[in-house]
Chains A and B, each alone.
Chain A
């Protein structure tokens, strides 16, 4: 044990007193004096005992506290690693203790579901080195995830180069707000693929980066699906299948949305009707629309941000061959709006 916590001076004084009057109190002439010396001896023994107890318990608790702190750090490390495997919102719910990991804990929500897929990626996997492939894919998925999180979406899963994202799994979330956030995200992702072209080419891939996207909005079942041992927090239902089909339906570099999504984002985008689509397991044909570009002014154009004091126009870099119609229209709308703003200032 470590040294005593007792003031050493105090003990020395008591021992000095005993030395002076004899440990049996013989130098005292009366009974009270003797009793007093005996009491001091007893008190000293009790203090020593107490001191020992105090020090022992202190050492014990210090060891426990230090161990606790070490364990906390280990848990924190695990949580940091876990964060990278889970979506931000799901991680926050698990870490906050409000999420149950029981299989079967599901609920119905009005969501917007997004699917994307790189055109010709399967061919690419056969022609480039695995290291190049993982670099190319991770750069792309990293950029898309960052955009998704900025718009408040939850990455449900990556399936190779395909991404499934949903919006609106928070309680009391507004379906219109979810759809608008989802469309804004999709438009920004399409714009970002333009910027990724050069990185993509640097890896030595001959294939341009063109992505198909599909968005559908409606009621889905969301929650934990799986066994007692292993569950996945995901979304299922006919509306998920519709979103996946819309993605396949989209043109390379395009976004295909359903009538139910379009109804919620009418003021954000210009569209071109693409007819109706029959989806297995869904009773009615689904009206489909190709997004032509973002309307201006709207919060969904990633190139132009308007504010009270003016506007910010992001730098554009165009490779003619690679520019999709949606990219071209969205850039054009941003530039036209920016020019109009400049004219307004001059007037």
Chain B
């Protein structure tokens, strides 16, 4: 088991981390980077999390955006692309945790199920 895998990207505006023991990638704060190249490190962290969990046979990856106050268009594109990738890969489930206190989440997270009908969405 590689439960101690932990990666973190932290700036004054946001934090993104992967906590292997909880099978969770959490995005916190306000993500307003410019275009795809600036999002590449986050994209790589998520890809790594996916690989690591699949490698140890975990059934599901959790994406926690409950504390993500803001996400710009390039950011939602990154999340949608990631959901597509997980669906195509087919060997792991996906759960997304959101919060209704972030106005953008109710609609934009619900749209994720169009990319992956089996995705579990939990908006608290």
Contact = CB atoms under 8 A, between A and B. Distances in A.
Interface stretch (A52-60, A106-114, A164-172): A52-60
Nearest to A49: B84
Given A49-B84, A64-B73, A56 B104 contact: no
A292 to B, nearest CB: 64
Interface residues of A, number: 12
A63 B80 contact: no
Contact of A52 (B71, B103, B115): B115
A52 B77 CA distance: 11
A281 B76 CA distance: 66
Interface string B53-92: 0000000000000000001110011001100100000000
For chain B, give the interface size range.
10 to 19
Interface stretch (B9-17, B93-101, B106-114): B106-114
B35 to A, nearest CB: 12
Nearest to B75: A60
Interface in A21-70: 49, 52-53, 56-57, 59-61, 63-64, 67
A1 interface: yes
A56 B108 contact: yes
The prevalent SS among residues of B at the interface is helix
Contacts of B107: 59-60, 63
A63 B111 CA distance: 13
B73 A57 contact: yes
Contacts of A59: 107-108, 111
B108 A52 contact: no
B81 A53 contact: yes
Given A57-B80, A59-B107, A52 B73 contact: no
A72 to B, nearest CB: 15
28 contacts: A1-B111, A1-B114, A49-B84, A52-B114, A52-B115, A53-B77, A53-B80, A53-B84, A56-B76, A56-B80, A56-B108, A56-B111, A57-B73, A57-B76, A57-B80, A59-B108, A59-B111, A60-B73, A60-B104, A60-B107, A60-B108, A61-B72, A61-B76, A63-B103, A63-B108, A64-B72, A64-B104, A67-B104
Interface of A: 1, 49, 52-53, 56-57, 59-61, 63-64, 67
